[in-house]
Amino acid sequence: MPFDVKWIVNKAAQVRTRLASVLAAAGIGLLAGVAVPAPAAAQGVVSDGNAIVTGFSGMQLPALISPGTDPATQATIDLGAPAARAIDLQAPGAVPQAQVLTAAKPFAVSAGQVGQVFAVALDHAAPPNIYLAATSVYGLPIVGANGQRLMQGAPGVQFMPGLFGPAPGGPGSIWRIDGQSGEVRLFATVAFEGVPNGGPALGGLAFDAASRTLFVADRETGMIHAFDSNGSERGRYDHGFTGREAGGLPQVQFDPSLRLNIASPQFQPFNVSTWGYAPPTRRVFGLAVHEGRLYYAVAEGLQVWSVSITPEGAFGTDARSEVAVAPGQGPSEISKIAFDDQGRMLLAERAAPSSAANFVALTAAGGRVLRYTRAPTGWAADEFAIGFPGAMQNGNGGVAVGYGYANGQIDRNACGGFVWASGEQLRRASDAVLANQLAAGGAANIDGLQGSAADAVRPGNAPPLQSYFIDLDDSFENADARGHVGDVAIRRDCAPGGPGTPPPAAAAPIEPPPPTDADFLPGPGGLLEEFWPDWPPPPPPICPIGTHPEPNGVQCCPLGQIPGVTGVCQSACANGSMVPLDILACYRGFQPGSPPAGPNPGVCWDGSAPVKVAGCVPNTFGCNKCPRPPLKRCPSGTQEVAGGPPLPGWFWSDTRCEPIGAAACPPGQQANMAGVCQVLCPAGQLGFPVNRCCVNGTSVNALGQCPGVVVPPEWYLDFLATGTGPCLLPDGNCSYYEFTITGRRRFGRGSLSVNITLPQGAAFPEARVTSGSKYCPASAWSCSKTGNGFSCTAEDCGLSPGDQVVLRTEGRVVPGLTAPPPAPIDRTACAVLNWHALSGPGRTVIEKLRDIGRVTPLPPTQVDSVGTDRFGRTSSRQACHTIRVMPRTPPAVTACPANYVQTRSGQCCLASQMTTSGVCCPRGQRPDALRQACVPTVPPAVVGRCPPNFVRLSGGLCCPRSQVTKRGVCCPPDQTPDARGLACVQPPTTTPVPPKPLPPQIIECLGGKVPVGNTCVCPPNTIDLRGRCVACTGGKVVVGKSCVCPSGMIERRGICVQLPTTTPVPPKPLPPILCRGGKVPVGNTCVCPSNTIDLRGRCVPRQAIPPKPAPSAPIQTRPQTVPAPTITRPQTVPGTIICPLGTRLIRGKCMPIVR
């Protein structure tokens, strides 16, 4: 997969070393991603006016890989890189002119300490403590037991190290950084009913100084949890249940069956829909506390709600909707809420995760930063211009209020004079003139912060030329990076509730309003099963806030189509067929392809046989009648009347359409829902009654229209495609696709259709439902072949949360293939699921409940909404799966990925890890300044000691001994101490000479040999026999250069056979030996004892033979010297040479023994 390795590498090396060198020069200790803070006693970790910013720590790529390997599959999270850091905002040095500030970053915590974090909050302590929340906005990578990245959940998998911090941390972790010492510890773990967060992790954080309570949003359950200063949970708030009920909306309860399980194969790290997020109606992200209320952002409709909180930190029951933000560039959420000193609400938007496998583009787009001012009629919206690209909406979801500035210096008299927002690609301008203007102020690719005056909203400061820009890691690299910056918090001692502010006096508790009676509507379970299929519990209302359901609306559709509940005309058939006969059959309640004709009476939508009208032509639409399908309505100007035996003019067996007015309309006109004839629809179209969501204060006009809104579909189902994995032929039928529908959130009932599109040329004879549910059994489905695929439909289906329907089709993706192909073949099948929700109580159930006194019938006006009913929705979802047919042998790949170079051994080395001598430095090492040898990277500090050959400097930094100056400064990796050891200087520049590749050699091998390097050798299991390679036969194996039988076998006539199993016979003892002449037995021989010799068969002592006297020598008067050794002629005994004592036989002569 394509990605920019260079930028990720900088994340792992260049960024960290630059940051370390800057901080070391400033006398502040920051190790490679591990905080060793040395804050001033009065200011603490974060000085007044400075910021704490979170962001993705980055990835580490493998130093050495094989050609053709995707480095991303072996990448790991950089545990040593910062996940949050402090940024100095004290002295920009000049007025804001869109310039890049070189801001110091005096403190950081690494991914190895806290994992990946997004939300950040400061408490009221002096200095304030810092709180960081675990996040999944940067991705959810998983690894197997061997540490290899996986693309799908499986038993035994775990989250990649560095994603959620060290144990016992996890997806629900809140980390606390001591404001004075910088100590990092686990503050609390968010769990619901004892079950920890499974992976979606946490959303926003907000601290309430009045109650000293920390609030956090749980992205998996949708709950908001409250913790005291000790990390103990005080309570929790459920917007889906309590908030929606207070707002007059149906409750949406938490469904524990939807929790994320990364061991399930349905979890896919690169498919965000499988991450287990709470449904949009429950999912909460941004949080803020203002004037005794907790403001929180709900994903559905980008809404912001609020609820009161007591001085003790308890939640009230007066939740209300504050604002609904208009949709942005794409899927997004409000990830941060803040308030300025004028009470204006700031909202930061973050795009949805992109689940990029290469961890470069973590989001698909940027986001907005909005400002809302409270007005008598609600909230009035403004917007900040963030960055220069595109629509100037390049935020990353963080916003905070800081001090203003005067002449380039922080102005502590302007407490809330500036707004800082996180963003991406902030100074990249498409206009050439503007780009040249910006180039004078610094780099274009800024991923970090933008600071502007608090009142600099559009159209002022658009483009944001009167702003400051700060890069998060000072790398200014990869232009493709998206979403790498997170949240921002700024310490302001001047702000109400700032550090050191005492809590206000306790106020009287807020009395909740008395409960109100609600109309009785049965919920899931209970009555549902008792009266199925007539009563499904009603889904929630669909009209958004600010609108109301208006009856008597009309929608015009082309002939043959009916209104869909989202306002789009669609086929009358659930499978989408536009064949005229199918449309007529579907509208009248028959299954497509099964109308009444000839001998066939037809099959009704629910599988039943049609009712026959007496006295008519059999097997015609006039004679054979089906019950009214749930989605079909009478045309405008008519009303549905039930009961009575069917007549030939009825559309359905149980319902007829009667005109509302008495007069028939002339051609070209149609009656509205008041019975008045008029030109209701264009020619070729027919009007149907619908109900619309009209803006409050408006109503439908005579044409059945109103100034309404487009209501997004409410989705209750998940749709997943699976199938055969890599397929290696030949092995019979190895191809199948499965499509699984899963109920989500709450019970839903409606018609389902799945349209499967198979690969071109594939041979799949049928599709069938292999698994159903209690209220959606396999028998309710019908599948038919449609072109290059299948269409499967169920007119009436009910799915509770966790219920599944599985459709399966088996066959061959490449029918004519009987052997592995020369190259891989990929074949993808896709299916589209359409679901049409049905309405609430049916007529039959109402009557049953009335008879038993369980409920009063609901008025007919209860059915009033967009589309066919108050609660109905229509939506679609697509799922695809690819089957790969594998080749016989993998294709040869010799090229290295981008930013990798090939070594002499043919491996691929990360270019930044290669020395000039061709050595690839392993992880934990790097090339030295001259790139001539591998040296250790600066390791994390260990309290009390440094590694060998490292020294500890003031501030705690461990520095290589050779890099320390006499003044105690640690030179950065690209510098060395000068000749006097007083300053850091650049070493002499040399142009690295890459290793010369080995010249290609063409080797011709004979005798069955194969080339290996520059040599011809025999293949495995063969030996070289007179220049030819021969295989071992007869069961022999190669040992060295020979063919031998395996252990436990012997060769017989050239074949290896098993050794016979026989009982070993012990050897017979030898007879005793009799020795004479004083000799003694040794083994099978008689010898003389030591210090004796054999003389004529007898052993005699060596002293028994006198030596021959030596000739006398004249006396010398010279000084005494060591006498020269004398040579004594041996005494000859027949058959033996005997030397005197003190001599030994050497080359036939008796020589003195020198000791």
In terms of pLDDT, which residue wins out, 469 or 745? Answer: 469
pLDDT for 35: 35
pLDDT of 426-483, one tens digit each? Answer: 999 988 899 999 999 999 999 999 999 999 999 989 999 999 999 998 888 778 889 9
Question: What distance in Å separates the CA atoms of residue 426 and residue 429, rounded to the nearest whole number?
Answer: 8
Mean pLDDT of 919-946: 70
Confidence of residue 885 (pLDDT cuts 50, 70, 90): confident
Q: Out of 302-316, 742-756, 1059-1073, which region has the weakest mean confidence (pLDDT)?
A: 1059-1073
Question: What is the phi/psi pair of residue 869, to 5°?
Answer: -160, 175
Cβ–Cβ < 8 Å for 186, 169: yes
| pLDDT of amino acid 523 | 27
- Structure confidence at residue 512 (pLDDT): 34
Contact 1108, 1129 (CB under 8 A): yes
- Specify burial of residue 57 (Cβ count, 10 A radius: 0-12, 13-18, 19+): buried
The span from the CA of 26 to the CA of 606, in Å, is 78
Note whether 39 and 86 are within 8 A (CB): no
More confident residue, 373 or 1111: 373
Q: Is the pLDDT of residue 201 over 90?
A: yes
The string of pLDDT tens digits covering residues 1130-1153 is: 554 444 566 776 777 777 777 777
Q: Average of pLDDT values for 349-359?
A: 87
One-letter amino acid of 114: V
Which pLDDT score, from 0 to 100, does residue 674 have?
A: 83
C-alpha 529/C-alpha 710 separation (Å) is 34
pLDDT mean over 969-996: 70
423 falls in which pLDDT band (50, 70, 90)?
A: very high
User: Residue 73's pLDDT band (boundaries 50, 70, 90)?
Assistant: confident
| pLDDT tier, 244 (very low <50, low <70, confident <90, very high otherwise) | very high
pLDDT digit string, tens, across residues 968-982 = 777 776 678 888 888
Distance CA 697, CA 185 (A): 55
Tell whether the model's pLDDT for residue 1062 goes beyond 60: no
Say whether pLDDT at 236 is over 60.
yes
pLDDT for 1100 equals 82
**pLDDT of amino acid 973:** 67
- For residues 271 and 519, give the distance between their C-alpha atoms in angstroms, rounded to a whole number: 40
More confident of the two residues 871 and 259: 259
| 3-class secondary structure, 111 | helix
Output DSSP code: residue 132.
E
pLDDT number for residue 3:
36
Confidence band of 678 (pLDDT split at 50, 70, 90): confident
Q: Which of 153-167, 528-542, 829-843, 1008-1022 has the highest mean pLDDT?
A: 153-167
Full DSSP string of 690-703: EEEEEETT----TT
pLDDT of residue 1116: 45
Cα distances (angstroms) measured from residue 556 to each of 584, 630, 686, 870, 909: 18, 19, 5, 19, 65
Lowest mean pLDDT among 379-388, 626-635, 981-990: 981-990
Q: Which domains does the chain have, with CATH numbers?
A: 5-64+81-490 (2.120.10.30), 547-695 (no CATH), 717-859+871-885 (2.60.40.1530)
Residue 494 vs residues 412, 497, 501: alpha-carbon distances, Å? 8, 9, 9
Q: Counting Cβ atoms within 10 Å, is residue 1141 exposed (0-12), middle (13-18) or buried (19+)?
A: exposed
Is the pLDDT higher at 128 or at 1083? 128
Question: Is residue 522 predicted with pLDDT exceeding 60?
Answer: no
Provide the percentage of residues in the chain whose pLDDT is more than 70.
Answer: 76
Residue 946: which of 955, 956, 936 has the closest Cα? Answer: 956
* Spatial separation of the C-alpha atoms in residues 29 and 39, rounded to whole Å: 10
Question: Could you tell me which residue, 340 or 733, shows the higher pLDDT?
Answer: 340
| 120 contacts 429 by C-beta, under 8 angstroms | no
pLDDT of res. 1098 = 84
Nearest residue to 648 via CA among 588, 606, 604: 588
Query: Highest mean pLDDT: which of 189-193, 267-271, 734-738?
Result: 189-193
Average pLDDT over residues 832-841: 65
Q: What is the mean pLDDT of residues 131-152?
A: 91
The radius of gyration of the chain from alpha carbons, rounded to an integer in Å, stands at 43
Q: Encoding tokens for residue 120?
A: 């950040």
Which amino acid does the sequence have at 619? N
Q: Pick the residue with more confidence: 519 or 769?
A: 769
Q: For residues 422 and 396, is the Cβ–Cβ distance under 8 A?
A: yes
| Residues facing residue 453 across a β-bridge | 418
- Residue 51 pLDDT > 90: yes
CA distances from residue 1126 to 65, 1143, 1148, 1149 in whole angstroms, order as listed:
76, 10, 14, 11
> pLDDT at position 564, please?
62
Q: Residue 140 class from Cβ within 10 Å (0-12 exposed, 13-18 middle, 19+ buried)? A: buried
Range with the poorest average pLDDT among 241-245, 316-320, 851-855? 851-855
* Whether pLDDT at 526 is above 50: no
The predicted pLDDT at position 446 comes to 95
Mean pLDDT of the 544-554 span:
70
pLDDT for 521 equals 28
pLDDT in tens, 1037-1056: 887 778 888 877 888 777 88
Taking the C-alpha atoms of residue 876 and residue 570, their distance in angstroms, rounded to an integer, is 12
pLDDT at 75: 83
| Residue 143 burial class via C-beta count within 10 angstroms: exposed 0-12, middle 13-18, buried 19 and up | middle
Rounded to the nearest angstrom, the gap between the alpha carbon of residue 280 and the centroid of all alpha carbons in its chain is 19
pLDDT band at 957 (very low <50, low <70, confident <90, very high): low
Residue 432: partners with Cβ closer than 8 Å, 6 or more residues away = none
State the pLDDT at residue 318.
Answer: 94
Report the pLDDT value the prediction gives residue 819, as an integer from 0 to 100. 77
Given a contact cutoff of 8 angstroms between Cβ atoms, the answer to whether 127 and 179 are in contact is yes
Task: Work out the mean pLDDT of the chain and round it to a whole number.
Answer: 78
C-alpha distances in Å from residue 591, one per residue of 295, 565, 794 = 51, 21, 10
* Whole-angstrom distance, CA of residue 315 vs CA of residue 236: 8
What pLDDT is attached to residue 32? 30
Burial class (CB in 10 A: 0-12, 13-18, 19+), 957: buried
